[in-house]
A = this chain, B = another copy of it.
Amino acid sequence: MNMSGARERLVVIGGDAAGMSAASQARRLKGPDELEIVAFERGHFTSYSACGIPYWVGGDVTDRDRLIARTPEEHRARDIDLRLRTEVTELDLDGQRVRARDVDTGEESWTSYDKLVIATGARPIRPDMPGAEAAGVHGVQTLDDGQALLDTLEGTRGRRAVVVGAGYIGVEMAEALINRGYEVTVVNRGSEPMSTLDPDMGCLVHEAMEGLGITMVNDAEVTKILTGDDGAVRAVVTQDREFPADVVVLGIGVSPETTLATAAGLPLGPHGGLLTDRSMRVRGHEDIWAGGDCVEVLDLVSGQERHIPLGTHANKHGQVIGTNVGGGYATFPGVVGTAVSKVCDLEIARTGLREKDAHRVGLRFESVTIESTSRAGYYPNASPMTVKMLAEQRTGRLLGVQIVGREGAGKRVDIAAVALTAGMTAEQMTALDLGYAPPFSPVWDPVLVAARKAAAKVRGSL
């Protein structure tokens, strides 16, 4: 640490949400005469919305630059020394310095730091199989990935797309490709799409996707990707079938990018992400912070670490880190596991624990599933909604909620997200004073209907 009172140097590794939020917030609190900020980013872009890529590919967002919240120039204008196309290749903790390589020239140099932020993000899981690197096979993690996919789509005559994986990215990419007029097949390892839901709720997503004309293939393990004479993808092969494909999108998740951290001996959690304390400081390291897709976060419901790569968390981490680096005080207490998505007009949301999560962490629960509508039943466009709720046995404490429906279903999960954070019981939730008017909700909001049933089941099991 710089003890002289002279200006300190903050080094940030990674120029997307967590890293640049941290840099920006630190800059807000400390001017350039107090704090020098150097940020390394190996790609071309900063502060962009990876979550927006499916909508750019699908055509809902026409201009790539709209996904960029803040350009390199904007960061530089705020006295952040941003070095694009520069990859950090080594952390020297004892020397308080990082080695960085210019991606284009190969030139390397060391930069010392007083404070360090690690925001290296996540890397896509690429299946280790023949053909996985073929032309026409695309991930969608970065803007460069998105551009490459769009180039393939524009250069390909065939209209058959296979999406591998049926999680958030998978279903969003299925929507994007349907919107572009492709015949879409989703090949999924699990028994139902959206394994972030229990299978009985994933089944509703399955039915809806079929209804949208998407071919959903469950329990399918991709064994190889076939290519034609031109080296371009031709088909996706599973254990028992072959799916012709002119383009393949891989949506099989990401894992924390912690190569640097691992080499430097920083503490990693059970999912391979960096472990931090509540202030987002790397555990045991006074002057090193980490945030975004490369860290694990505390799940407040299970009490265990999870890896949840999601822009909204990355932004919060960056805000907290920047505040602490800038001399303020902020914490990130953890998550409850909220996520929302859609495939065409089907909205899918979850928060808290699924049944298997609860089993895994030793929590016994009652589970209820109810059908209701988004608006009063008599109001136009009232659409059906299924809400599943888990509440702990004995205490009645809310453990999780999953919602599948149409317009108005997705963001209703926020009610449960706040209730989970507050540790409410299902019984307490039955009295929640939620917004009611016929265009917005039945007189009993669907979440309240689920809470009533869950509370009754908990009482019945006492």
Task: Name A's B-contacting residues (CB within 8 A).
Answer: 17, 49, 51-52, 55, 60-61, 63, 66-67, 69, 168, 310-313, 315-316, 319, 331-333, 335-342, 347, 349, 351, 376-380, 408, 410-415, 417-419, 421-422, 424, 428, 430-441, 443-445, 452
**Is there an interface contact between A417 and B435, defined as CB atoms closer than 8 Å?**
yes
| A315-B443, A415-B415 known; A336+B433 contact, CB < 8 A | yes
**Is there an interface contact between A379 and B61, defined as CB atoms closer than 8 Å?**
yes
The distance in angstroms between the C-alpha atoms of A340 and B376, with both chains bound, is 13
**Is there an interface contact between A432 and B421, defined as CB atoms closer than 8 Å?**
yes
The distance in angstroms between the C-alpha atoms of A441 and B336, with both chains bound, is 18
Copies in the complex: 2
Q: Chain B nearest CB: distance from A456 CB in Å?
A: 10
Across the interface, A338 reaches (CB within 8 A) one of B311, B414, B435, namely B435
A-B contact pairs, 16 of them (CB 8 A): A49-B378, A51-B443, A55-B378, A55-B379, A311-B443, A316-B431, A336-B433, A340-B436, A408-B411, A410-B435, A411-B435, A414-B432, A414-B435, A415-B415, A418-B419, A418-B434
Across the interface, A312 reaches (CB within 8 A) one of B331, B443, B452, namely B443
Q: Which of A49, A61, A338, A421 has the most B CB atoms < 10 Å from its CB?
A: A421
The distance in angstroms between the C-alpha atoms of A434 and B333, with both chains bound, is 14
The distance in angstroms between the C-alpha atoms of A434 and B415, with both chains bound, is 9
| A379-B55, A418-B418 known; A437+B333 contact, CB < 8 A | no
**Is there an interface contact between B52 and A433, defined as CB atoms closer than 8 Å?**
no
**Is there an interface contact between A433 and B379, defined as CB atoms closer than 8 Å?**
no
| A378-B67, A411-B412 known; A440+B340 contact, CB < 8 A | yes
Chain B residues whose C-beta falls within 8 Å of the C-beta of A440 in the assembled complex: 340, 342, 347, 410-411
**Is there an interface contact between A337 and B52, defined as CB atoms closer than 8 Å?**
no
Q: Chain B nearest CB: distance from A347 CB in Å?
A: 8
The distance in angstroms between the C-alpha atoms of A67 and B442, with both chains bound, is 12
Chain B residues whose C-beta falls within 8 Å of the C-beta of A337 in the assembled complex: 433
Chain B residues whose C-beta falls within 8 Å of the C-beta of A312 in the assembled complex: 433-434, 436, 441, 443-445
Closest to A312 in B: B436
Closest to A444 in B: B315
The distance in angstroms between the C-alpha atoms of A163 and B49, with both chains bound, is 46
**Is there an interface contact between B438 and A55, defined as CB atoms closer than 8 Å?**
yes
**Is there an interface contact between A433 and B338, defined as CB atoms closer than 8 Å?**
yes
Q: Which of A336, A417, A439 has the most B CB atoms < 10 Å from its CB?
A: A439
